[in-house]
């Protein structure tokens, strides 16, 4: 589980070695202090030797200063390593998520990917810092304290040799109980993130239907589930400090009791008792730190599993080693679907089946069908956002699975059904698919897409707020069309993306498009017959199956579903 995370620490070998080393030096100084204190009491204070008291006092001060300096160096190295590790891991996760096909995005969900990129990486980042700062120091202080206590009084050390294993057993039992619970807690957090995402994205719909109360109740229920999961962990974890303190305090009582007896018997000095108590305190403090580390590392272990799952997930859609650039248009059909079937999961039912058609270069191809008939899924296969389950999809005579994805998407312009604009400017949005965006090309795309409103604002530098919140629905739609046109695609796809435009604007856009790009292969996906009736071919889909293929007049005579759609729209 942890192996995939090791490469992100490779660049910090120096910090991973020197950080614990300096922390070890600090621990050595800390273990020396009680012995110096014992000498100060027995040979200085008890004997009334002021010079010796001053001398030992300076030694104690020097050890404290050197220990503080060593701790600072360790903290500095821990910060560099942990922050660098977190930064690299987040970048790698973000890059990996960018390679995911729609299948992986559907499988994981946006909310859990966000949590894994932020919350889980933060947990791992803290764990790295604690590994450098405390993982070596705390056990060393426990063992060193036991050894020093054994040197001072072997018989009295029996108390510690009983207390430490009891405390270790308590830590193990608590860790064993809490470890599986942290993974479940993170899933509850994912659910909360999904609730927040859906409520923010659908806030207008929720308000329009006056469903705030129901959404609040649903969120409260999921929030309560997260609370219960967290409280279950806290109830178990909260036993750590009381159990630790109880065992340690009982050990302290025993040490004071038996130590006092030995002082009265003359087998121990007052300084040795003070030193022994200091060592017992050092051991107890180290054990408390270890108990807190148990909680931290248990959380980190759960997070490591969630992060490595992302890192080890292979995208279902990936370029083959011998992938080729998209061939230029030729005599072959611009697009060919050959007996294509597709299901969203291996054991799921086919959502597309028996698709077999071809589209020639420069043709206008319409796709129509009821809601949920698979129109957008067909387009996703053409763009290779998913891979087909059976059959093949070819562009310019080459199977899309043998073409580099970047080359394919450069030749295919997609205007998706869901409008999506990025915050920035009109220029930055239009230049997304361009390596060298020239103003002339951008203005040409805007003019074809009927974006005259851009000239009335601040031109290409017009601000675009998050998701285009400062534009109307029709304006946002036209901007997304201009963005697809700006990269001069060979194939342009309107995935039901003309619905926000009025009939006149739509007609002007299609006319300008034909004049500017006479050889452009155009896909028009729509639920309106008026949008596709002038197409060279129209594919009618019904529950993922082809119900008809032909021109408008042919389908009116041969396809009952197409005729039914046409009549319902004409009559309305």
* Residue 32 domain flag: yes
Residue 454 domain-assigned? yes
- Could you tell me which residues are beta bridge partners of residue 324? 403
Per the structure, the count of domains in the chain is 2
Record the tokens describing residue 409, joined without a space. Answer: 């998407």
Please name the residue that has the structure tokens 């805007």: 446
pLDDT tens across 461-496, in order?
A: 888 888 788 888 888 888 998 898 888 889 999 988
The pLDDT, as a whole number, for residue 339 is 93
Calculate the alpha carbon distances from 255 to 158, 168, 248, 276, 410 in Å.
Answer: 10, 19, 10, 8, 77
Residue 344, both tokens = 């969203």
- Interior angle at CA 501, CA 500 and CA 503, nearest 5: 135
Which two tokens mark 54? 């001053």
Q: Check which CATH number belongs to the domain holding 279 and give it.
A: 1.20.1560.10
70 with 217, same domain: the answer is yes
Residue 328 lies in a domain: no
Q: Determine the pLDDT at residue 394.
A: 93
Q: Looking at the structure, tell me whether residues 359 and 306 fall in a common domain.
A: no
Q: What is the rounded CA–CA span in Å between residue 524 and residue 532? A: 6
Examine the domain organization and report whether 507 and 440 are in the same domain: yes
Q: Do 473 and 379 share a structural domain?
A: yes
277 and 407 share one domain: no
Which structural domain, as residue segments, surrounds residue 352? 335-571
Average pLDDT, consecutive stretches of 10 residues, N- to C-terminus, the chain (572 residues): 83 90 88 78 70 80 88 91 92 89 83 86 91 86 84 80 80 75 76 74 66 78 83 77 78 80 76 80 80 80 88 87 85 90 84 92 91 89 90 91 90 86 87 80 89 87 85 87 88 85 84 88 89 91 91 91 88 58
**Which residue in 557, 477, 565 sits closest to 527, CA to CA?**
565
CA angle 542, 413, 494 (to 5 degrees): 40
One domain, residues 294 and 351 = no
Instruction: Note the pLDDT of residue 348.
Output: 75
Q: Is residue 325 part of a domain?
A: no
Instruction: Give the pair of three-digit tokens for residue 552.
Output: 């408008």
Q: How high is the pLDDT of residue 36? A: 76
Which of 312, 347, 378 is the last residue before a domain boundary? 312
Helix (H) or strand (E) holding 367: strand 364-368
| Inter-axis angle of helices 50-99 and 13-39, nearest 10 | 160
Same domain, 274 and 169: yes
At residue 551, the 3 state secondary structure works out as: coil
Residues paired with 364 in a beta bridge: 522
Cα 566 from chain centroid (whole Å): 46
Same domain, 224 and 81: yes
Asked if residue 317 is part of any domain, the answer here is: no
- In which element (H, E) is residue 255 found? helix 240-265
Measure the N-to-C terminal CA separation of the chain; round to a whole number of Å: 60
Whether residues 261 and 354 share a domain: the answer is: no
* CA–CA separation, 161 and 440 (whole Å): 82
Q: What is the DSSP letter of 403?
A: B
Do the domain assignments include residue 326? no
Cite the beta strand spans of 372-516 per DSSP E.
Answer: 390-395, 398-399, 412-415, 424-425, 463-464, 491-495
Same-domain check for residues 249 and 366: no
> Are residues 239 and 161 part of one domain?
yes
Closest CA to 540 of 531, 528, 550, 530: 550
What radius of gyration do the chain's Cα atoms show?
A: 35
- Cα–Cα distance, 178 to 233 (Å, whole number): 6
Query: Domain for residue 452, yes or no?
Result: yes
Token pair, residue 235, equals: 């109830």
Residue 192 phi, psi (nearest 5): -60, -45
342 and 280 in a common domain = no
Domain-ending residue, one of 270, 297, 312: 312
Q: Of 237, 126, 118, 128, which is closest to residue 189 (Cα–Cα)?
A: 118
Question: What's the CATH code of the domain at 532?
Answer: 3.40.50.300
For residue 349, being part of any structural domain is answered with yes
251, 278, 312: which is the final residue of a domain? 312
């Amino acid at each position: 589980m942890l192996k995939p995370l090791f490469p992100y620490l490779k660049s910090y070998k120096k910090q991973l070695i020197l950080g614990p080393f300096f922390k070890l030096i600090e621990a050595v100084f800390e273990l020396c202090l009680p012995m110096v204190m014992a000498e100060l009491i027995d040979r200085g204070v008890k004997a009334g030797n002021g010079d010796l008291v001053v001398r030992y006092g300076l030694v104690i001060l020097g050890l404290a200063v050197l220990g503080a300096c060593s701790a600072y160096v360790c903290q500095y190295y821990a910060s560099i390593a942990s922050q660098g590790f977190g930064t690299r891991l987040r970048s790698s996760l973000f890059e990996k998520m960018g390679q995911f096909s729609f299948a992986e995005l559907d499988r994981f969900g946006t909310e859990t990917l966000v949590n894994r990129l932020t919350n889980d990486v933060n947990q791992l980042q803290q764990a790295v810092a604690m590994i450098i700062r405390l993982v070596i120091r705390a056990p060393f202080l426990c063992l060193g304290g036991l050894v020093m206590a054994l040197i001072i009084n072997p018989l009295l050390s029996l108390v510690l040799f009983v207390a430490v294993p009891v405390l270790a057993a308590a830590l193990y039992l608590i860790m064993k109980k809490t470890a599986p619970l942290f993974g479940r807690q993170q899933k509850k957090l994912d659910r909360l993130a999904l609730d927040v995402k859906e409520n923010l994205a659908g806030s207008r719909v929720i308000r329009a239907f006056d469903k705030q109360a129901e959404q609040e109740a649903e969120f409260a229920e999921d929030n309560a589930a997260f609370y219960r999961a967290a409280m279950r962990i806290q109830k178990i974890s909260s036993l750590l400090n009381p159990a630790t303190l109880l065992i340690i305090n009982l050990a302290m009582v025993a040490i004071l009791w038996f130590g006092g007896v030995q002082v009265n018997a003359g087998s121990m000095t007052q300084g040795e008792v003070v030193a022994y108590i200091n060592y017992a305190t050092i051991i107890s403090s180290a054990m408390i730190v270890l108990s807190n580390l148990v909680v931290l590392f248990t959380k980190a272990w759960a997070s490591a599993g969630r992060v490595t799952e992302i890192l080890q997930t292979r995208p279902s859609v990936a370029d083959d080693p011998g992938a080729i650039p998209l061939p230029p248009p030729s005599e072959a059909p611009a697009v060919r679907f050959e007996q294509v079937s597709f299901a969203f999961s291996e054991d799921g039912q086919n959502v597309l089946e028996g698709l077999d058609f071809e589209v020639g270069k420069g043709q206008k191809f319409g796709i129509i069908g009821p809601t949920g008939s698979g129109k957008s899924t067909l387009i996703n296969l053409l763009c290779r956002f998913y891979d087909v389950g059976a059959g093949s999809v070819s562009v310019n005579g080459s199977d899309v699975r043998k073409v580099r994805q970047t080359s394919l998407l450069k030749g295919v312009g997609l205007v998706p059904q869901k409008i999506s604009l990025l915050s920035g400017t009109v220029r930055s949005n239009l230049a997304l698919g361009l390596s060298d965006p020239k103003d002339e090309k951008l203005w040409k795309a805007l003019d074809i897409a009927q974006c005259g409103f851009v000239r009335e604002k601040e031109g290409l530098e017009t601000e675009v707020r998050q998701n285009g919140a400062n534009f109307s629905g029709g304006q946002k739609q036209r901007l997304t069309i201009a963005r697809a046109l700006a990269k001069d695609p060979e194939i342009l796809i309107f995935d039901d993306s003309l619905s926000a435009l009025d009939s006149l604007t739509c007609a002007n856009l299609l006319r300008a498009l034909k004049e500017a790009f006479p050889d452009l292969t155009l896909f028009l996906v729509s639920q309106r017959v008026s949008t596709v009736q002038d197409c060279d071919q129209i594919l009618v889909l019904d529950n993922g199956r082809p119900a008809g293929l032909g021109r408008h007049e042919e389908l009116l005579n041969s396809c009952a579903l197409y005729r039914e759609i046409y009549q319902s729209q004409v009559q309305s």
